[in-house]
Amino acid sequence: MPMIMRHNEILDVAPRQVAHLRAGGPGSLLLWSEDSDRVASLDPGHVPGDDAMIIAGTDDLDGIAAQAAENGDEFTDAYAARCLGEIGGDVLAEWPRVKALTPAVVDLRTDLARRGFYLAARPDHDRGARGCTITDTYRSAEREDLTIRVTSAFMNTDATEVRILATEHRREVHRFRLAAGEERPGMVPYLAAGAIGAAAAALPRI
């Protein structure tokens, strides 16, 4: 059955869910579940399945706080909840495309979580020269100085790109690509997770 396109919606996000997101740190997520059609919180260490749309991670609250300051507004949990409800509605309008991309990163998210790297922000989705891609942002309590950005193609049919940034200034400190395997593209997420773990261990503290 084809998915119904949903536009101009504002999701119901509660201030207490914002507080839970902020307190949880990297890996704490705010989700919309397709099965329940509701917004829910996810604690660090749990990886969302491909039926869950990520509305926000902890890093997204920084952007909302900066926007509030720029507008002269008071940043509160209620303010952030209203913003995230609108953002979630915008992402929901793209859910069919987002859902199609998500299976490409579930294994990567799971393997990185085992290594202590957790999603820290809402994924970015792009449709460009490489086709449709999804970019995840990860952080680790063991290496708070590093932020990992991983761009994956639809079904891992193109190279996976990894950028390692200094968290404080977002300066790039390392970058590499993993070509898609012609015979076993499903192995790419595991190779990427291993390479990310090795690179983070080798890089000096920033």
Model pLDDT for residues 184-198, shown as the tens digit of each residue: 767 889 999 999 999
Cβ atoms < 10 Å from Cβ of 158: 19
User: How many whole angstroms separate alpha carbon 106 and alpha carbon 123?
Assistant: 12
- Residue keyed to tokens 């495309």: 97
Asked if the model's pLDDT at residue 2 lies above 90, the reply is: no
Cβ neighbours of residue 113 under 8 Å, at least 6 residues apart?
27, 45, 47
Q: Are 102 and 125 in contact (CB under 8 A)?
A: no
Mean of all residue pLDDT scores within the chain: 92
pTM: 0.91
- Could you tell me the pLDDT band of residue 127, with boundaries at 50, 70 and 90? confident
Quote the CA–CA distance of 102 and 50 in Å, as a whole number: 6
Structure tokens at 118: 């957790």
| Distance (Å, whole) CA 49 – CA 81 | 23
DSSP annotation string for 96-146:
HHHHHHTHHHHHHHHHHHHTTEEE-SPPEEEEETTEEEEEEEEEESTTTTE
What the block records as the tokens of 138 is 């990860």
- For residue 6, what pLDDT band results from cuts at 50, 70 and 90? low
